[in-house]
Chain A
């Protein structure tokens, strides 16, 4: 190999290594170059597929962009006139085959790796009944509602025992939503008329944030979800005592306060602190279950799946904390 060519190859190699090192540092610092750190085995396997694709596509990217820059530099006109022709090359069959077959091989590698990892991502791990909890997740405009195995209900915040498999059944009460906690795995849409499933198994105690990922209307951005992974004892305390005791407040905060304010002072929706509907459980039930549909004045049927007990705790909460008596001025 002539010296000049070798030196050029060295330069190319150096550029390649420098690029990969920079990319590596960026990945390590996780400034948004990779998915969030995984805290569940399915999320970890998705991330490993991501890293493989990132490596291979980064390689292709460097090859294409380097070739582009090198050609642009090397074959620039340098003052040659427009009438000076370049090499009249019309094609090269073997080259065409190379750049057809190489991407095919790369894609086969990616697809094989994905199929190898797939069972660990989509299949629910086998776990005894004691090591698994089944939770139903309902998407509503604009909050998440969870129903636990013992019948307890919570809003927006899902409590799960750490290390156990949480098997989620995801449904919707109105329009499409998408349940997504990035650190615990991918999205699963909540679609009316359909029942979807997903699972995760949080590996450490902590709070994992997420939010609705399918555009669901005006307050789409406010539809935040949180998974609280805690010890088994804390989880048991939560579903037997804390959740039932705070349900009324959670319902008001998650389903009503988004529009009407935490104290019923009004916001996007009208003020309710003096509205007599709040003092009458049956009219409260009908409006919460049926919503309002009066031309352009709309209120979603936020509680169209609520049980009587759920409505009852809401009525109790608003009577105590929101309703301040009928307005005197009328």
Chain B
């Protein structure tokens, strides 16, 4: 047989697993991100169910107080740093080059590095469970001096810092890559005002990450030095300042909320028009409100610290800046509502999640106004009211957006559609379970239940609301299992219907490629004339074919 030398250099790299290890393809990296984040989501969700089991009734002993603090800290850290931020990077990786008509990200190798660094950081955090003294247990905010070596002598806190440092490097590299890609690799005709709104959201997400992650890194480095090198930046007993940590942390921490919410808003802005059979209402208003939110998000951090005893003038400043953010957020909500007005609304699963997002995020936004008003905040801060508020924003908002995005882009990612009936069951179970879990927590906060307590001794309403909340969390868990089953039946049992290029008759360029797209994405890209290039194409074809 004649030697076929051209097959030799690619031998091991084409292996079923090896090809995923060495890939620099933005789509495969995106799927790795999404898959890893979803596994972390299951882990973080199990932690949440442990917390709710412990709190279901007064004086419960499912967890010890020690392990409750560990589980509570890990749940928050996992969900924020190992689930929401990276899954957005995953969606962005998969979608941005396709949406702007590019063949790959600007720096494919850096992109692969970002993912593997994320996986490493994620592994370090999970493995910290085996550190001496257990994982970190000072809360996901790790306030000083509680997180200092004097009060947290175990190594869990050090691994927590190490993990966040690695994740920060991964996110920074990824963010720079997104910015460079979006600025330089848009196809012909794709001007800034023709950019899909999801890409606008990722541009803003990336700029925010670059702007605020260094603050987190700096704060954590100082904390690490305090713990390991005998410095005392945050130790008042030796002349340090405990509040300084809170300022540095929240300068990162509040924009982080928008880093997690804006991409989900971008997904909603893609899904709503497609399933309303209409253009997005107020494209410019939505794009500019995204930038407005991002800008003001860097000026509101101390509204997390109203109870630390700042001067009233500062309290007033942070109240007003926090209120200002409500305005661009409201603009988005009203524009989304107007997008459905006089539409032809098709209630496929992605649309259900998008509509659920609007309904639930509105609730989270409005409860935020109570927290912005500092005298009211003095009553509700650090209670279950806050827990309810940010879960309405990050679960009712972001996670509903993510599920909508998964159902919407699943056929593009894998070439098969998820089952619609299971998808609708998933949505309704999640909607009911979510509201049962978190609505009563508003009341618990107003009744005086602080967050981060491992048990309580009150009967009456405390007991009832906690019980309802725990039952709701169980329903939420079942909803997630329905999603897992949906994925299983579509792919392992191969019941998923094969999708064509464009099963939803969508508007943006990713639907021009095959499902799943080839490694080089496009053979050719049509010249972009509007922010709905695929609809333009369909109309042109309809005109040409009599």
Contacts and interface: CB of A to CB of B under 8 A. Distances in A.
Interface of A: 31-36, 43, 45-46, 49-50, 53-54, 57, 60-61, 64-65, 67-68, 71-72, 75-77, 80, 82-92, 95-96, 99-100, 103-104, 107, 110-111, 114-115, 117-118, 121-122, 174-176, 178, 180, 182, 185-189, 191-194, 196-197, 209-221, 268, 293, 295-296, 298
B337 A49 contact: no
B295 interface: no
A218 B437 CA distance: 25
Interface of B: 65-66, 69, 132-133, 138-139, 143, 145-146, 150-151, 153-154, 236-237, 240-243, 276-279, 281-285, 307-309, 312, 316, 319-320, 323-324, 326-327, 330-331, 333-335, 337-338, 340-347, 355, 358-359, 362-363, 366-367, 369-370, 373-383, 440, 442-444, 446-448, 450-456, 461, 465, 504-505
B379 A176 contact: no
Contacts of A215: 138-139, 143, 146, 382, 451-452
Given A194-B243, A213-B383, A107 B285 contact: no
Given A50-B370, A64-B337, A100 B378 contact: no
Given A71-B341, A213-B382, A293-B150, A82 B346 contact: yes
A72 B345 contact: yes
B242 A187 contact: no
Contacts of A80: 344
Contact of B309 (A49, A103, A196, A217): A196
A16 B537 CA distance: 45
29 contacts: A32-B461, A34-B446, A36-B446, A36-B448, A50-B370, A50-B379, A61-B362, A61-B363, A64-B358, A91-B283, A91-B285, A95-B338, A100-B327, A107-B327, A110-B323, A110-B369, A111-B319, A114-B374, A115-B316, A175-B143, A176-B145, A178-B382, A185-B379, A189-B308, A189-B309, A211-B450, A218-B65, A218-B69, A221-B65
B279 A90 contact: yes
Given A86-B344, A215-B146, 18 more contacts: A32-B444, A46-B375, A53-B370, A53-B373, A57-B370, A89-B338, A100-B327, A107-B324, A176-B145, A182-B448, A192-B145, A192-B242, A193-B242, A194-B243, A210-B448, A213-B383, A217-B151, A219-B65
A110 B326 CA distance: 13
Contacts of B320: 111
A194 B461 CA distance: 36
Contacts of A111: 319-320, 323, 373
A226 B392 CA distance: 32
B330 A103 contact: yes
Contacts of B383: 213
Nearest to B241: A193
Nearest to B374: A114
A193 B308 CA distance: 12
Nearest to B324: A107
B143 A176 contact: yes
A184 B241 CA distance: 29
Given A49-B375, A209-B448, A218-B65, A65 B281 contact: no
Contacts of A211: 448, 450, 453
A86 B373 contact: no
Q: From DSSP, what is the main secondary structure of chain B's interface residues?
A: helix
Contacts of B240: 193
A53 B456 CA distance: 30
A104 to B, nearest CB: 6
A103 B327 CA distance: 6
Nearest to B366: A57
B505 A68 contact: no
Contact of B340 (A57, A72, A100, A221): A72
> Residue among A45, A87, A197, A293 with the most chain B CB within 10 A?
A87
A99 to B, nearest CB: 4
Contacts of B359: 65, 68
B105 to A, nearest CB: 31
B448 A89 contact: no
A32 B382 contact: no
Contacts of A196: 308-309
Nearest to A107: B323
Contacts of A96: 282, 285, 331, 335
A45 to B, nearest CB: 7
A32 B312 CA distance: 28
A139 to B, nearest CB: 12
Contacts of A100: 327, 330-331
B307 A91 contact: no
B334 A99 contact: yes
A89 B378 contact: no
Contact of A194 (B242, B278, B381): B242
Contact of A103 (B66, B153, B326, B358): B326
Contact of A118 (B138, B358, B375, B447): B375
Given A77-B344, A188-B307, A60 B448 contact: no
Contact of A32 (B346, B369, B443, B504): B443
A77 B375 contact: no
A71 B334 CA distance: 12
A290 to B, nearest CB: 12
A65 B362 contact: yes
A119 B277 CA distance: 53
A182 B340 CA distance: 43
Contacts of B461: 31-32
A91 B150 contact: no
B342 A296 contact: no
B248 to A, nearest CB: 15
Contacts of A61: 362-363, 366
B333 A64 contact: yes
Across the A-B interface, the 3 shortest Cβ-Cβ residue pairs: A186-B378, A193-B236, A32-B443
Contacts of A104: 327
Contact of A86 (B284, B342, B370, B380): B342
A295 to B, nearest CB: 7
B363 A187 contact: no
B393 to A, nearest CB: 15
Contacts of A187: 307, 378-379, 381-382
Contacts of A216: 146
Contact of B376 (A53, A91, A213): A53
Contacts of B241: 193
Nearest to B273: A86
B146 A91 contact: no
A174 B148 CA distance: 11
B337 A186 contact: no
A80 B324 CA distance: 41
A265 B118 CA distance: 48
A304 B314 CA distance: 33
> Residue among B132, B285, B346, B448 with the most chain A CB within 10 A?
B448
Nearest to B383: A213
A22 B333 CA distance: 25
Contact of B345 (A67, A76, A91, A217): A76
Contacts of B133: 296
A39 to B, nearest CB: 13
A68 B66 CA distance: 45
A86 B374 CA distance: 44
A33 B309 contact: no
